[in-house]
Amino acid sequence: MASSKPLSRFWEWGRNIVCVGRNYAEHAKEMGSALPAEPLFFLKPSSAYVREGSPIERPYYCRELHHEVELGVLIGRRARAVPQDTAMEHVAGYALCLDMTARDTQKHCKDKGLPWTLAKGFGSSCPVSEFVPKEKIPDPHKLRIWLKVNGKLRQEGDTSNMIFSIPYLISYISHIFTLEEGDLILTGSPEGVGSVEANDEIEAGIRDVVTMKFKVQSKG
Ligand SMILES: O=C(O)/C=C/C(=O)CC(=O)C(=O)O
Ligand SMILES: [Mg+2]
């Protein structure tokens, strides 16, 4: 377990949340989506952050709220058009993250060719664990990430199965816009995504590194 105190300043700064999609072949397959030739990404507002102790809230327009467990990469130093071979120098550390998704809304957006903001960017759509400094994770591509709902295992994946590696993602994104200190990159979900209901408890972890628990808000 990470023994260090969380560096909450990273979360409090309220920086950008950049999410990568379809970065695991098995998840793209379960969604019936083609594998991306280049990274697919979208943004969440910083108000999407939620820390342990606060609930995940289902947006009023959503009937099918899904969990996606993902490794988060926290940027520690500004990255502007950086090459892959120095990209990891810009990483401060990691966090476990959930990319909570209004799946029915996302399907509607996909069908209509609309952006995914309603489906992915609502308040509390980005629960995060405590911050894990990079020194505690020698190789972020050798991690086991998992998620349980009410004690039952739903997702378990290995970060070695990412289609686009972390240096590739940092380099790619940094050629489109500058990544600032405190920005968080969600690196995509492995397979096994599924629905949660009011009062469900989500527990998730990076094996031997960190765990976190969140409750889904009851209705009313
Ligand atoms: O392909 C789809 O229909 C949906 C993909 C996602 O929701 C993308 C992600 O957020 C992900 O892969 O983690
Ligand atoms: Mg995702």
Do strands 91-98 and 69-75 pair parallel, antiparallel, or not at all (unpaired)? antiparallel
Q: For residue 14, what pLDDT is reported?
A: 65
Nearest Cα residue to atom 9 of ligand 1: 21
CA of 155 to the centre of ligand 1 (A): 14
Q: How far apart are CA 13 and CA 205, in angstroms?
A: 24
Q: In a mutational test of the pocket of ligand 1, which residue from 22, 69, 145, 195 has the highest number of ligand atoms less than 8 Å from its CB?
A: 22
Specify the pTM.
0.95
Closest atom of ligand 1 relative to the 22 alpha carbon: 12
Residue 133 has, within 13 A of its CA and on its CB side, a CA count of 7
Could you state, in chain order, the average pLDDT of each consecutive group of 10 residues for the chain (220 residues)? 49 82 98 97 95 95 97 95 98 96 98 97 96 95 98 98 98 97 96 98 98 86
Q: For residue 2, what pLDDT is reported?
A: 41
CA of 21 to the centre of ligand 1 (A): 5
**What is the predicted ipTM?**
0.99
Residue 8 has, within 13 A of its CA and on its CB side, a CA count of 5
Q: For residue 5, what pLDDT is reported?
A: 47
Q: For residue 218, what pLDDT is reported?
A: 73
Ligand positioned closest to the Cα atom of 119:
1
Do strands 184-186 and 17-21 pair parallel, antiparallel, or not at all (unpaired)? parallel
Q: For residue 9, what pLDDT is reported?
A: 63
Q: In a mutational test of the pocket of ligand 1, which residue from 27, 114, 120, 184 has the highest number of ligand atoms less than 8 Å from its CB?
A: 27
Query: C-alpha distances in angstroms, 102 versus 40, 68, 109, 137?
Result: 18, 11, 11, 31
